[in-house]
Structure 1
């Protein structure tokens, strides 16, 4: 289970550190990003029903009424741990656990919702409606997204980890152009540069 360590040194957890991220580049990576600061002191960003609803809204999905938030959270946390194990292997070349692969394959077997087109009235094509999903459909969509990511050579080659050593968020770099160094220049890029300046100043 992808749980936050309870015996790690305590640190001040700001609202920014707890904020959900939706800029990792794919649905499955946005799920992985619901744990922050993994290498240092992992920060749980999706630990209750309110955060679960916020994450679903952020990725453009809705769960069917009557779902058990704790049950859905447990399942998403298990998938999150497997997705991190698998996706990070493209960055550090470790071999993912067989249990991670088996879980993703099992969850992907459920049929996802059928995509539908709606004839546009304003010239903009869009999916028809936003049907509420069962837990199994949600998990299947995330698992299939991860499978698509890992089996697409071009996309997989763009997988990277934020260069800020206390972040290391997994994300997709741009397709062409300069490689993505930071998960966000505004967040980690600026912090890393400021830390570097402080280190140089203290060494003088």
Structure 2
């Protein structure tokens, strides 16, 4: 399947590129990653209720059954746009839009549920029986995650944008030693290296 253009060339969008990503390093960055291939040919990975439900499962969130998922999806798209504006702006050395900052701060004002430890019949810690969130609490949880990340100098300096042109996913590099160039060696690192070797071989043949 092809979709859009980049520098006058057709771009091929694969099923893998439409897959949800859960490896960006934080809850809020996982939300940002629900749009792929920014900024050249954006791919919507969370465009309907089914994909929204899959994303909730992937990040370990649950929403109360009475919530309007259509409205929540629209609110998450708005939050996602602001989160991308702030994080991409930081990586480019550019100030975010003031409305992005206002939305993040407004959403974060809602107090998320207080953590509650449950103890099972054996006297050992057990999972809480009810972890479902209201829509405002869920949005606040994500907004607070991003604000906490960006407010921490040590974590903030580990923000990266994948070096692969067809990806550019923003992720948190939590490894030690040399900074990672790609969001994933398996996904983008190997593809980039293979493409580089192919170009070198083609150039050698043409020479």
Using the size of structure 1 for normalisation, the TM-score is 0.90
Cα offset for 1:122?
7.5
> How far does the alpha carbon of each residue in 1:80-139 deviate from its partner, in whole angstroms, 9 at most, with x for none?
000011112231111100010000001001110111122367797565234211111110
Question: What residue number does 2:47 align with?
Answer: 47
Rounded to whole Å, the distance in 1 between the matches of 2:136 and 2:63 is 10
Q: How far apart, CA to CA, are the structure 2 residues paired with 1:142 and 1:92? A: 22
Measured in 2, the distance between the counterparts of 1:130 and 1:22 equals: 23
Distance in 2, matches of 1:159 and 1:177, equals: 15
Is 1:170 the counterpart of 2:170 in the alignment?
yes
**5+ residue gaps in structure 1?**
1-6
Q: Residues 152 and 78 of structure 1: is their aligned pair in 2 closer, same or farther, counting only changes over 3 Å?
A: same
Larger radius of gyration: 2
Contact 2:25 2:174 in 1 (8 A): no
User: Separation in 2 of the partners of 1:122 and 1:192?
Assistant: 51
Alignment gaps of 5+ in structure 2: none
RMSD after superposition: 1.9
Distance 2:178 2:89 in 1: 22
Deviation at 1:199, TM superposition (A): 1.2
Distance 1:44 1:203 in 2: 35
Higher strand share: 2
- The CA distance in 2 between the partners of 1:19 and 1:187, in whole Å, is 12
Name the residue aligned to 1:112. Answer: 112
| Moved segments of 4+, more than 4 Å | 120-127
TM-score by length of 2: 0.89
Alignment length, in residue pairs?
A: 198
CA contact (8 A) 2:4 2:11 kept: no
Deviation for aligned residue 1:67:
2.2
Distance in 2, Cα, partners of 1:68 & 1:23: 27
